[in-house]
Each structure stands twice: as structure tokens, then as C-alpha cells.
Chain A
Amino acid sequence: MNWVEIVWIVMSAASLTLGFIHLLVWFKQRSQYAHLLFFAVAASATAFGGCELAMMRSQSPADYATTLRWAHVPLAMFVLAIVWFVHFYLEARRLWLAWATSGFRLAGLALNFVTGANINFREVSALDPHMLWGGAVVSGPVGVANPWAIVPQIGNALLLVLVVDGSLTLWRRGGSDARRRATVVGGSLVVSIAAIAGFAALVNVGLVHAPTIVMPSVFLIVLAMGYELGWDMIAAAQLAARLRTSELRFRAVVEAVPSAILLVDEKGAITLANAQAEAVFGYPRAELVARPVEMLMPQRVREPHVGLRGTYASDPRTRAMGTRRELFACGKDGSEFPVEVALSPMATDEGFFVLASVVDITERRRFERTTALQRDELAHMSRVAMLGELSGSLAHELNQPLTAILSNAQAAQRFLAQSPPRVDKLAEILSDIVKSDHRAGAVIQRLRSMLRKEEPQRQSLDINDVVEESLRLMRSDLLNRRVVVGHDFADGLPAVHGDRNQLQQVLLNFMMNGCDAMDGRETDRRLLVRTQRTAHGNVEVCVADSGAGIPLADLNRIFEPFVTTKSNGLGMGLAICRSIVDAHGGRLWATNNADSGATLHIELPAQRS
């Protein structure tokens, strides 16, 4: 055996090996047609390699012609496989080009068997032995060219166009992967096909006197394609590794999150739960996975939740669940607890999933309740203290109707004692007594309500009423302090939702503050109470005094605890006001007036009807 034979056998065997490898890959992944087509390319190359070796070793022109004729069968298969490989792998779009190439090539194959000795030669008249390097002798043909050879050559040219076109399209689409593919596959195909076809054509027409050696180019194509497909397999393997890392990372994150995480599929089944979910719900993971997520809810919400899942799937956004209602979950031991749930949609190839993050807020709720309780208690204490300060005024408010009642009753006694008794006056007197009694009763009622320690009761309130009532309670105090009160109430204000006692406390506090601020003034003590609608449709109450105003540095601080501008103040009054107004969803602020004094403002949200 000379080296040519060894090399040809090695090339053929290597092609076959590569082909089988990819055939195996194709068996595992039937959708990857590129691997099957590559097997076809490699197998054809092997067969062609055998044929070419036989041709080179031919001892007679007839032998040579016959072998060449049969060599065209694997060669045509090789070209056809390349055509469709290029079509699928380079994602060429011109389907007609692929069909045309295949057509010419198959026609060439047919003509190969019906015209001349083969498609290359009408007849092979002699053999022309060539001595190659290393003393190897190979046979080349001498004969008359077959004019039909033009048909497969057109096919070759079309193949060239197909490859160039496909490569350029792929190149233009950009991306490093696409460009590499275009360069390696397209480039090697173009070079090899041009080499084979050109060389064969030159030999055929007798311009080059050489044996037709095609196999090395064919093998080059096989190598290039094999390299490219191998690269794809490596990339896929790397992707798989990255996916695995990503999956691990996802798991680690899910496990590390301090809230319970549940991944729920389209049908509502739990597909993943983290350790925190086990802790929160009390189920081991095995009892959670593949079970309906409704098992974690109280009985009463299970049914409605099925419908809600559908609603979410129709508008999947990352959002909090149930923003308008309290959510409750149910643990394995049957205990119910308040939760906060955040939902995120996850659309995957395997379907639609929802990632639910659940936080047990029992502790938070308890804390909120304690805080509210303390706030209300403090508010109550401060209210009692404030009413103490106002006791003179309040006594006066009671004293007035009581005095009227007494005087009326005594007048009635005297009218009756006259002779004859003046009975005519009695009806009027009695009705006035009743009226005054109601008036005194209302004051006591209000006082009792403010002094009583009870949970705040939110109700729909007309803020003008609340302001007016506060002014009434303070009336005598204001008179005594020589404060002239003006009021400006807006009509048609929206109702506010609040606790009457607490809001009145805030207003009284504001007014007493205003009065205190004017204590240093000899004259012109004015307090203006105004109600109005804000730009946002809320309700605002302003209490403006004509005192010295608030130092700029304190303007934003006076609602903080222990901040006071008074020498004998504890600085708790306004801080408690703020906590009350905060609890009502409103806000407080202070401004200095343009002329003199300061204004305290309360904004309360309008009640949603």
C-alpha cells in the first residue's frame, strides 16, 4: 500500500466515524435534522472516497469509466445532503434554489447512466498514470468529454450560489454565533465546492492533465461541517451547565428568602416550596408539592380562590395579592393566621406558573394592635388632661342652662303664687326648661363621651359639626381670654370617616394652642377657624391665631414629641394630635401667617362613598 491508499482510507474511515457519531446524536434528538443530514454527507463522502481510490487504482480505461460512473452516486448524495444541510443549518430562505440544485444534480446522475461512459466522458480511451511524491502511482483518465457534463456542473454552480446566498443572509443577520457559522460552514463549502467543481471541469475539458482528485476537498467539507456541529454540541453542553448553575442559584435564593415561597402551576398545584414554607404552614415539602395551593387557605376562601387564580392568569402582573382585604392562611394544625402575599407571573415553555411569596404577619398585626392601643390610651390621657384645663369653660357651659332652668322654675313658682295664679305663663316656661335641660344634657353627653375610655369609633362625620361643637366647648374659655373667634365654614364638604372624640380633641388642642400663643398680647387676640376642600378633594381645617407665630426652626418640629414653644408645656399635645390624625390617614402641618401669628392645618381624607 502506498501512502495515497492509506490517506484515502483514513479520510473515508474518519468521515464514516464522524457520520456515525452524529447519527447517534440524531437518534437521541430526532428534531435535530442537521445531524442526520451530516450523517448523509459523511456516509456519501466515505463511499465516494472508496470509489475514488478504486478509480486511482484502475488498471483499464473501462474499469476507470465504470468506477467513475458509480462514483457519481455517492457524489450526488453528498451534494444533495449538503443542499439540505445548508438549507436547514444556514437557514437559507430560497427554497427554489435548493430544489433547482437538487434537480440539476439528480438529472446529472440520470444522464451519468444513460449517456457516454459516464457523465464526464463519452468514452475513456486510455489511462494516464501519474507518479506522485513518494513513488505512488495513480491513474488519471484520457478520453472524450461528455457534453452533458454541463448539467451537474450547473448544479454545482447553483450549489455555490445557494451556499454564498445562505452565508451572506446569515452574516447580515448578525450575532457572533451566526457569523461564525456563516464563515466556517459557508467559507469551507464555497472553497471546497469551487475547488472540486473547477478542478473536475478543467480535467474534464482536458485543460489540466491530472488525475481527478476530489476526496481531500470532500473530506475538508466533512471536517468543517463536523467541527461546526460539534461546536453546537459543546455550546449546548455549556448551556446545560449554565442552566444547572442557574437552577442551583435559584434554589439557593428561594431557600434563603425569609418568606415562604410557593411555585404554583396553571392548575393550581404547588410545584415548589422552600424551607420557610414548611415552617410557616407546618407541612413537610413532600406534602406540599403536587397538591392544590388551596390546601393552605381557610375553607371559606378555597372555592373563590380557584376563580381568582383565573383572574390573575388573565392579567399576570407582579403585585400584592388581595390589597383590599385581609388575607388569611391555614396551617397543617388547622390554625388560621394573617398573611401578606406577593405574586409574580412566570411564563415558561412548560406553561404558566405563579411565584407566590407568603409572609406570616401575625406578629406585625399584634404589634400594630398594641401600638394602636397605646396611642389611643395616650390620646385618652391627654384628652382627660385637656378637659381638666378646660374645666372652667365646661362648667360654664353647664352652668348657663342650669341657671336658666332654675330661674324659669322659680319664675313659674312665683307666677303660680300670684292670686289669681298666672297659669298662662306655664306652658312657655316648661318648654324653655325642657330646652335648657336638653342643652345641659348634650354638654354632659359630650363630656362623658370624651372622658370615657373606649375604643375609637369611626363614623361618618361632617367636619363643620365637629368644629362647631369644639368651639362651643371652648366658648367660655375663649371669652375669658378675650379671644375673638371668627369662623369660615365651607359648604358641601365631603364627609370624613373618623372618631368624633379624637378629632374634637385635635381641634380643641389646636385652638388652645392658638390661645396660648396669644397670651402675651394685650389686644387683638383673634382666632380664625376655617374649613375647606383641598385640591385633592380632601377636607382641611385651619386654625389661625394672631400670636407671635412659630420660630422657623420649629415649624416642622412642633408635632414631634417633647418639642414645645411654651415655658410650661410638656410638648405632648401636638404629638398626640399627630398620632391621632395619622391613624385617620390624614396629616398635620403648621405655617406662619403673612401678617401675624401661625396657622395649624389638618387634612383628612374624604370618605369614599
Chain B
Amino acid sequence: MIEFSFAIILENLLLATRWTILLSLIAFVSGGLVGLLVLFGRVSKHEVLRLLTAGYIEFFQGTPLLMQLFLLFFGIALFGVEVSPWVAAWLALTFWTSAFLSEIWRGCVESVPRGQWEASGTLAMTYMEQMRYVILPQAMRIAVAPTVGFSVQVIKGTALASIIGFVELTKAGTMLNNATFRPFLVYSLVALIYFCLCFPLSWCSKRLEARLNVAR
């Protein structure tokens, strides 16, 4: 039997952390892009678009991320398409992230005073021009802090990908525990690593909030 020293456990956990970070980054970026599209639908003038995107948001906010993962991982397989845990995790996290980010951002867009819409509209700008040059630049300032804050949720959300067999930090912890039978040590380390990833982000978010709240 192989002896698992503390160093080996830690090393393996840290190696798996790379995948947690990578999955978080990819999910956050693609979730942000999709979220931006959903946002445009959510605040658009077309009622059908608004309803569709509202439904999308409600679905992904109103069901557990784990169920979404299962649905994607096992559901798509029913149609004869093999989905790797990577792709399933990426897709599920993207949808889930986009639903939350678009809703956070909608709040930010709607907090821009009505007069800004009227003033830019009166200057003959189109809807997209108003958004691009007047509304979004202001909404983005407000959105920075909550968006960074939400990235913490994405990192923690990646832990669920372990259940469909994607070897990231949590899955590596489970595997190491199975081999070492030292759950307290292993999971303490896992939690500590998550904390080290998340804490700087929450701290950043708080700092940004304090700084950007000082009105220009």
C-alpha cells in the first residue's frame, strides 16, 4: 500500500485546483457573454423577447444547479450524443451563471435614471447607441462589485461538477479520502483551498463597492 504523506495529499489537491480555476474562469467568461445577450433581451422593447428571457432566468435560478448538471449530462446522452463531464459542466455553469449575471446587470441598467434615456433619445440616438454610449458605461460602474462578488458563487458552484465525474478540487478530495481514510484532514484542506480562492474575490468586491460608490 502506498503511504500518502501530507505533502502528497496537498500536492494532488493543488493540481486538481487548476481544473477548478479553469472551469470557473471559462464558465464565468462564457456565462458573462451569454448573460449580456440575455440582458439585452430582458430590457428590450419586444415583449416576446422579454418573456422568453424572463423564463430562461426563472428556470435556471429556480432549479438546483445539480439538476441542471444532471439534465445536461444524462439528458443529452438520451439523444445518443456523448457529453463529456467537461462539456456538461461547462454548459450547465454557463447557463446558470448567465441567468444570475443578467439579472444582476438588469438591476444595474434599471438603476440608471430615466432622464439619461430621455436625454440620449432626444439626441436622436438609437436604442443600441443609447445602451452602448450612455446606459451601459454607467451601469457597468455599478455592476463591478456585485459581479466580482458573484464570481465566488461560480467557483463554489464548480464543486458540483465532481458529481458527474469531473475531477476538480472536490472530486480529488473525495478520491484522496477514499485512498487515505483521513476525511477531516482532506476536506479541511479542500475547504481551505476554496477559501483561498474565494476570499480575495469577496474582499476585492467589498473594496470596489466602497470605491465606486463614491459618486463622481
A binds B: no
Residues of A within 8 A of B (CB): none
